[in-house]
Amino acid sequence: MTPALEVVNLNKRFGGLPATRQVSLSVMPGERRLIIGPNGAGKTTLFNLITGDLTPDAGSVKLFGQELLKLPTQQRVHLGLARTYQILTLFPKETLCHNVVLALLGLDRMRWDVWTFLLGQSHLYDAAREALALVGLGASADRTVAETSYGERRRLEMAMALAQKPKVLLLDEPLAGLSQEERSQVRDVLARVPRDVTIVMIEHDMDSALAFAERITLLHYGEVIVEGTRSQVVADPRTKEVYLGD
């Protein structure tokens, strides 16, 4: 079976400092993969290389067998790659629904037709409300972002990504800064994402993340040092040394 996401020998240096060193991973369709590691391990850099926000010095990134590295970020999104970010990028004065529509507009041919845009975008708003319902925000679609909690904004960003109907979804610390109740809400959202969406998640909340993940990749100083099932990675002494602190 062709991997949903395949990274091979990915290298990136910032000046003389290696951010990723020969990083390779293979994520199968429908898999829930967790990326862990201490601060500075290269986790977000890896996501940025996959999405095209950064250009690698060497290596390969394939989405269902198609090489991505020569493609711009927007084309990667059209092929089925979506992500969230550590730092939220939302329009606080706009409604939740409008934020999702703006995320969808970049994928729609209508973005080149101002007159069509002005006449109405009902299909985009329908898709936006469907995505908001999936993350438990359907009743809040017409509230502005400024009126919502931080946890609701995290779920909004997930709705913006899911509305694009991705094949592979990259989540960069979706539980960061959330209360226990908000983390539970996000975990519920993740459980509802259909299996035709492959998820790769960076997370520091080990209790929540371990329950989510089927396979785990541990990065340290830009290198993959442990990879395997939950039980294999947790039991590995290298995990305890560099991440769990035992």
Q: 118-156: per-residue pLDDT in tens?
A: 346 688 889 999 999 999 999 999 999 999 999 999 999
Give residue 200's domain range: 1-80+166-246
CB neighbours of residue 188 within 10 Å: 12
Counting the structural domains of the chain, the total is 2
At 15 the three-state DSSP class reads coil
**Which pTM was predicted?**
0.90
Alpha-helix runs per DSSP H in the chain? 43-51, 73-78, 96-105, 114-119, 122-134, 150-162, 180-192, 206-212, 230-235, 237-239
pLDDT, tens digit (0-9, with 9 covering 90-100), for 3-21: 999 999 999 999 888 999 9
Helix 122-134, helix 150-162: angle, nearest 10: 120
Asked if residue 104 and residue 49 are part of one domain, the reply reads no
Asked if residue 199 and residue 99 are part of one domain, the reply reads no
Asked if residue 240 and residue 142 are part of one domain, the reply reads no
Distance CA 139, CA 224 (A): 42
Q: What is the mean pLDDT of residues 202-207?
A: 79
Supply the pLDDT for residue 69.
93
Contact between 211 and 187 (Cβ < 8 Å)? yes
**Which of 150, 165, 180 finishes a domain?**
165
Contact between 171 and 158 (Cβ < 8 Å)? yes
